[in-house]
Amino acid sequence: NSGKASLLSNVCCEDVDNMKAAGSSSASTSAAAAAACLARPTPGAPSGGISLRIGILTVSDRAADNQYATGDLSGPAVEASLEKVVGEINAASAGGGSVSYSVVVKAIVPDEIDDIKRTLRQWSGKVEAENNTSTCDIIITTGGTGFSPRDVTPEATQAVLDRESRGLMGWVSSECSASQPLAALSRGTAGMCGNTLVANLPGSPAGVKQVMQILFPLLVHAAKDIQAS
């Protein structure tokens, strides 16, 4: 794989940026794309601050079947990005509030529409969860957003959303595609399931990092609007 595939790859447990590059040109392109996505000002916390309950759902047949020696790398990439981005949000705030969060639930499911839908409904409080899972303010999925026949995360998500935010993920892809054209091929969606925000991220840990930097500050402000209502 070339470095250009880093954002779109849904190989959730292998960071394609760590694979041997086909050449120095492709590696440089990947680095430039990541730098362009990350080099932007981070919005501060919403007025009054906010506390968030986060759910992280990895969607991958192979991870669900424990086929990776490394284990799941995508879910941990989301957690690492959360810590980094929240720190930057709070650093950018001018004393008007801060963002705190806790990851209240994590899971890995195969690329099956019914499994994804059931988990999203449980975590959003739409149906009773078997293990008394706390209702999440934000659910972040990772994996299953590409064009493989098994990539069904957007379809499963759309099936449970009450209100879809059609432009949000398109804008995120557009921002990254300015320097990485293949970013526009990500099919992830976002919206509200009950009062829970759901957003689809790619499965590549490098892609997670790039998208979270742009997306999560916006989700924070959307979640504040929901809580205020």
Q: In this predicted model, which residue has the larger pLDDT, 173 or 33?
A: 173
- pLDDT higher than threshold 50 for residue 100: yes
Q: In this predicted model, which residue has the larger pLDDT, 166 or 51?
A: 51
Predicted local confidence at residue 11, as pLDDT: 44
70-93 tens-digit pLDDT: 899 999 999 999 999 999 999 998
Predicted local confidence at residue 5, as pLDDT: 41
Cα-Cα-Cα-Cα dihedral sign, residues 191, 189, 107, 151: positive
In the structure, what pLDDT confidence band is assigned to residue 23 with cuts at 50, 70 and 90?
A: very low
212-223 tens-digit pLDDT: 999 999 999 999
How much is the average pLDDT of 182-196? 90
State the number of CA atoms in the 13 A half-sphere of 102 facing the CB: 5
Cα-Cα-Cα-Cα dihedral sign, residues 201, 202, 203, 206: negative
How much is the average pLDDT of 34-39? 55
104 Rama sector, left if φ>0, alpha if ψ -120 to 50, beta otherwise = alpha
46-69 tens-digit pLDDT: 989 999 999 999 999 999 999 988
Report the range of poorest mean pLDDT among 61-75, 94-108, 132-146, 166-180. 166-180
Whether the predicted model's global pTM rises above the 0.85 cut = no
Predicted local confidence at residue 32, as pLDDT: 57
Residue-averaged pLDDT of the chain: 84
Give one DSSP letter per residue of 71-99, joined into a string.
Answer: ---HHHHHHHHHHHHHHHHHHH--SS--E
- pLDDT higher than threshold 60 for residue 29: no
- pLDDT higher than threshold 90 for residue 8: no
How much is the average pLDDT of 117-127? 94
* Cβ atoms of 60 and 110 closer than 8 Å: yes
How much is the average pLDDT of 133-148? 92
- pLDDT higher than threshold 60 for residue 20: no
- pLDDT higher than threshold 80 for residue 181: no
Length of the chain: 229
